[in-house]
Structure 1
Amino acid sequence: MDANRLTDLPVSPPNQNAGIPTPWQAVALIALYFMLQLAVGSLMTLVVGLVATLHEGGGLSAIIPLGRRWLGQSDMTAAAVIVTLLISATVIMRLVRRAWPQRWTEGTPPGLGFTPSPHIAFYVAALAAGVMMPIVGGLLTTWLAQGHEVSQDIKQLGANTSLALRLPLALLVVSVGPVVEELLFRGVLLSAIARYTGNGMAIVLSALLFACVHLPDLSFLWYALPNLALLGLILGWLRVQSESIWPAVIAHGMNNLLAVVSWFVMTQQ
């Protein structure tokens, strides 16, 4: 073929969806995150149970019961949560970074938003939202609960843990937890949905899934769902409008911070 004729061949337009996570990939990553926590927790139960069995004596059948008994102590449980969260978050962050490196620092969806927002006002809005949401959400949940108690496992754990472990646990809850959850829900999931529905519907759907996956921690109490969904909507709006994931991370972290303050206040009473 004449080399000069190669320039006359039609050029295929670049695939605009190349390097964008799909909804199934996003859901699989979210499932993997929680499965990792379960797997690491189960492995720690086996390890602690084996150590306890060697220390206290007993056969192989005693490993799991002893592991559960030891991890049932508040400090041991807190230590297990810390290790589990660190391992799970590290694995997910590395997987996402390797899967979509070109989207990592891209501000607007389908980017993952790990870049500073050019709009300082959104950081102020994030702080305000993080302060207001526990108040507004708490009032909404209390009204819907009609007198029923609403308590998270992590709150009960933190309040009963020694100070030496309460501090690092609180630090992870307000930093690592929000970063990895925002990456999953307002980064990967929102971008994956937005390629089909646009940003508005992606914010709504990602907020609903965000609320639903947190229900096990709330014993599947349905009246906690609107509060979590509202938080997810605000975080999604911050993510899209600020062109960065960091305002959502800050709002999420501030929301968690006000929740863990009770760990320290309750023990002073």
Structure 2
Amino acid sequence: MTASRVDLPAVTVFAVSSVVLAWLVALPLWLRGEGLTDILLAPTAAAMMFTPALATVLALLVQRRTRGRRGARAVLRELGMWPLRPARRTVGVAVAMIVAMPLILIVGLGVMARTGAVTLDLTDFSGFAQALQTGVPAGIELPPVQLLVALQLASIPLAAVINAPFAFGEEVGWRGWLLPALRPLGTWPALLVSGAFWGLWHAPLILLGYNFAEPNPLGVVLMIVACSLFGVILGWSRLRTASVWPAVFAHGAFNASAGVGVLLVAADSPVPSAAIAGPLGVMTWVVFALAIGVLLVSGQFRGDRLQAELRPDPVRPAVAPVSG
């Protein structure tokens, strides 16, 4: 038996607390008024990533009113943290997602190159070489730029693991708790609503110009669309495996791959707007949509391919009925 309706009080507490906490964490950036040049930007963005985890704790506390006290094993299962079952599928999907993230961005660069938005240099990597030279003192000889590019790309899986604790802070909320909590709405509404809310949650940074250089409602809309599409892919990994870990490592790998354009773009390339050519820009949306299409055509969203056990435990009274 699975939950037949959305636990509205718990979802409301999660939504409100995650947004409020995100704004509280970002508040110093707004008070200091230095925008994206603020030295606190990076640590603030990292701290914000843990606010969905805190919101999840609050939502779980609210759920105790209707479900009663649950053991740690039940909570870990509901959040997709443990057990890893089936383990082979979970690990396989996690590895596939780590590999897919830089490929998505590289294919996006290819789309941009086809449209003339950017010029790529896949032999001499002139743009990256130029960037390296500007930061190296005279007289210091660097290794071949091709080797450095290869090392950068090869380090993405390691960076995905390093980024995992921060990505977990978000994913345990978005895909660990919220997506299953919204499953009574239907699979696709749950995927799209959780992804859209994920995008809206970024507003404290987006309104400073983060990601798209659009410190206005347009920037927030761009983020909502990007996260809705990306959220379908991350959400599929959660539904397919009943585990949050593939989404965690995919999120970490995507963040680690965000600078892949610096490696591949030519020195004389046009510089399109971040809203078009950024890691979450319109061109990447095209690749997200293509990836979702591949998953659809291959039947990956069929009910028999998704894991029912990720859904919340059935609602039960907080106090056992008195017999007799």
Give the drift of 1:242. Answer: 0.9
TM-score normalized by the length of structure 2: 0.48
Give the drift of 1:226. Answer: 5.9
Residue of structure 2 in register with 1:77 after alignment: 41
Residue of structure 1 in register with 2:22 after alignment: 37
* 1:255 counterpart SS class: helix
RMSD of Structure 2 on Structure 1 (CA): 4.4
The one-letter amino acid of 1:126's match is: A
Residue of structure 2 in register with 1:116 after alignment: 83
1:187 to 169, 173, 176: 176
The one-letter amino acid of 2:92's match is: V
Give the drift of 1:133. Answer: 3.1
TM-score normalized by the length of structure 1: 0.56
Residue of structure 2 in register with 1:236 after alignment: 235
Residue of structure 1 in register with 2:101 after alignment: 133
Give the drift of 1:183. Answer: 2.3
Residue of structure 1 in register with 2:250 after alignment: 251
How far does the alpha carbon of each residue in 1:49-74 deviate from its partner, in whole angstroms, 9 at most, with x for none? xxxxxxxxxxxxxxx5xx334x7644
How far does the alpha carbon of each residue in 1:107-141 deviate from its partner, in whole angstroms, 9 at most, with x for none? xxxx2222132122332222222332343256458
Is the Cα–Cα contact under 8 Å of residues 194 and 202 in structure 1 kept in the other structure?
yes
CA distance in 1, matches of 2:15, 2:109: 25
Once the two structures are superposed, the pairs formed by residues 53-72 of structure 1 within 5 Å of their partners are 64=31, 67-69=32-34
2:190 to 202, 216, 228: 202
- Residues 261 and 137 of structure 1: CA distance in aligned 2, closer, same or farther (over 3 Å): closer
Q: Is it true that 1:91 corresponds to 2:90 in the alignment?
A: no
CA distance in 2, matches of 1:200, 1:180: 24
Residue of structure 1 in register with 2:321 after alignment: none
Give the drift of 1:84. Answer: 4.6
- Residues 33 and 134 of structure 1: CA distance in aligned 2, closer, same or farther (over 3 Å): farther
The one-letter amino acid of 2:80's match is: G
Give the drift of 1:81. Answer: 3.4
- Residues 128 and 79 of structure 1: CA distance in aligned 2, closer, same or farther (over 3 Å): same
* 1:126 counterpart SS class: helix
Q: Which runs of 5+ in 2 are unaligned?
A: 64-68, 119-158, 268-324
- Residues 193 and 78 of structure 1: CA distance in aligned 2, closer, same or farther (over 3 Å): closer
The one-letter amino acid of 1:128's match is: A
- Residues 171 and 84 of structure 1: CA distance in aligned 2, closer, same or farther (over 3 Å): farther
The one-letter amino acid of 1:191's match is: P
CA distance in 1, matches of 2:58, 2:97: 30
Give the drift of 1:239. Answer: 1.0
Hey, which of these two has a bigger chunk of helix by percent?
A: 1
* 2:236 counterpart SS class: helix
* 1:115 counterpart SS class: coil
Q: Which runs of 5+ in 1 are unaligned?
A: 1-14, 47-63, 150-169
CA distance in 1, matches of 2:11, 2:227: 19
Identical-residue share of aligned pairs (%): 21
Q: How many residues get paired?
A: 205
Q: Which has the higher contact order (CA 8 A, sep 6+)?
A: 2
* 2:258 counterpart SS class: helix
Is the Cα–Cα contact under 8 Å of residues 23 and 189 in structure 1 kept in the other structure?
no
- Residues 253 and 240 of structure 1: CA distance in aligned 2, closer, same or farther (over 3 Å): same
